[in-house]
Amino acid sequence: MTVRVRFAPSPTGYLHIGGARTALFNWMFARGHGGQFILRIEDTDQKRTVKGAVQAIMDALRWMGLDWDEGPDVGGPYGPYIQSQRAPLYRQWADWLLEHGYAYKCFCTAEELKARRAAAKAARGDQSYDRRCRLLTAAEVAAREANGIPYVVRFKAPTEGVTVIPDVIRGDIRVPNSQIADAVLLKSDGLPTYHLANVVDDHFMDISHILRADEWISSAPLHLNLYAAFGWPHPVYAHLPLVLNPSGKGKLSKRAQAFDDHGREVLVKVEEFRDAGYLAPALNNFLANVGWSFGDDREIFPIEEAIPRFELQDINPAPTRLPYDKLDWLTGQWIQEMDVLELARAVRATLERQGHEVSPEALLAVMPALRVRLKKLTDAEGFLRFLWEDGGSAAPATDRLASAKLPAEAARRGLQAARTFIAAAQPLDTATLSAGLTAIGESVTTNGKAGPFLGALRLAVTGQEVSPPVFESIVALGRDRALARLDAALAALPAE
């Protein structure tokens, strides 16, 4: 069997993190079996379609590194890949169902249906459609059509027996046919519902496996009966485990913000993870662990190494919460392993989104030291604020530069000596600065150790309690800016 899987989001907004996990698992399965990964846009619900959502979804998938073999932007032999452009095909097969007795025209208005549901609810009865139009004679149907009464097309679901859903992850799921409603397949506007479009597209696009969220288990009996009515073989089903709120209490909803154990809001959009400074490889690593395990007690792995191991039967069907603290840890681990140049580029892009412009040279100077200090790319903003804020006009207070081991007078002598050294240092690099400034520090402190002085020097040139090491910070600032900040610090200290 040639593996062909699809990720088929509705363009009703952003790419949800649960949808991203579904996309990742589909992509991994396709890549691991030499198959195709298809992107299909299911936009039949035109009222909920959001302008720009398709592009936003594709941008999020690309940021994750997920590429597709066929889709709206790349084309393919089974296109078009946007459902609203395939309406004639759905109409054709809805008519086929009508002609062969597997569907019927329903003339009930929305108001009538609403009233019946309210009455059934009040009586604590069955609120699903009561199938009254299923009983209309051919003459009654013709009369309603002649009067121009609009209608929808409903499926004639079986009312007796059992439908078995064969699921690779969960085994056979048995559903009494009495629980399957006569679902609407074609709306009065001529567009299909999800159910008809989904089955028709999966058949004509030769989809071999359907990996989707377990919330669709309830629709699987309808889909299987549609396949049977058409006489088509159905794809292999694999319903993925439910993604829970980080607190473990309830589903991670698309339409409501999630909260962790401490009541804090958490991220749900893929673009939010990007903007919050998480790395795409770390996010993929994290999502692959949600319901599946690499094995060998290994938690950190590039997704390329996971692909050969990924099999549907190894997915745990149990609901799984998203441990966001683990994502923080994973991102920090991935950052530590990044090439310095690659990390500098990533940090620069993040800083630009935050509204800061920093030269590549400055970032390359601090990245080796900063790499082990970052948990997320956005953490760099706090460390590097001194590079775009004017520290020369706001020198640190004297009591912050002096200490028991570095009296004010010694601090002045040390900073003056440091200024003279930095002004003449050739080249201005960390090795040169380390040798010269460490020697100055050892000569001015009361205990003969450079630490207290280097701390004061870092505060003088960055104005920050937390920053990269002082040597890297001076190189990043550049000679002129570093000297200007030392001048401001010296002006704040009492004269000898």
**Contact present, 222 and 180 (Cβ < 8 Å):** yes
Amino acid at site 17: I
Q: What is the pLDDT of residue 392?
A: 43
Tokens read off for 45? 């619900």
Q: What is the pLDDT of residue 150?
A: 96
Q: Is the pLDDT of residue 416 over 60?
A: yes
* Annotated active-site residue in 254, 326, 375, 405: 254
Q: Is the pLDDT of residue 10 over 60?
A: yes
389-412 mean pLDDT? 77
State yes or no: is 405 an active-site residue.
Answer: no
Q: How would DSSP label each residue in 155-197?
A: E----SSEEEEEETTTEEEEEEGGG----EEE-TTSPBPHHHH
115-144 mean pLDDT? 92
Sequence length of the chain is: 496
In a 3-state reduction of DSSP, which class is residue 258?
A: strand
Q: Is the pLDDT of residue 391 over 70?
A: no
Q: For 57-91, what is each residue's pLDDT tens digit?
A: 999 999 999 999 999 999 999 999 999 999 999 99
Per cent of the chain over pLDDT 90 is 83
Q: Is the pLDDT of residue 393 over 50?
A: no
Between CA 239 and CA 221 the distance in angstroms is: 13
Q: 404 to each of 101, 400, 452, how far by Cα in Å?
A: 93, 11, 9
Per cent of the chain over pLDDT 70 is 95
pTM above 0.95, yes or no: no
How, if at all, do strands 4-7 and 36-39 pair?
A: parallel
Q: For 236-279, what is each residue's pLDDT tens digit?
A: 999 999 988 777 777 776 654 555 555 556 788 999 999 999 99
Q: Is the pLDDT of residue 202 over 50?
A: yes
**Contact present, 450 and 413 (Cβ < 8 Å):** no
Helix segments in 13-147, DSSP class H: 17-32, 53-64, 87-99, 110-122, 138-146
Q: For 157-195, what is each residue's pLDDT tens digit?
A: 999 999 999 999 999 999 999 999 999 999 998 889 999
Q: What is the pLDDT of residue 395?
A: 59
Q: 391 versus 279: which is more confidently predicted? A: 279
Q: 11 to each of 8, 22, 43, 45, 203, how far by Cα in Å?
A: 9, 16, 6, 9, 22
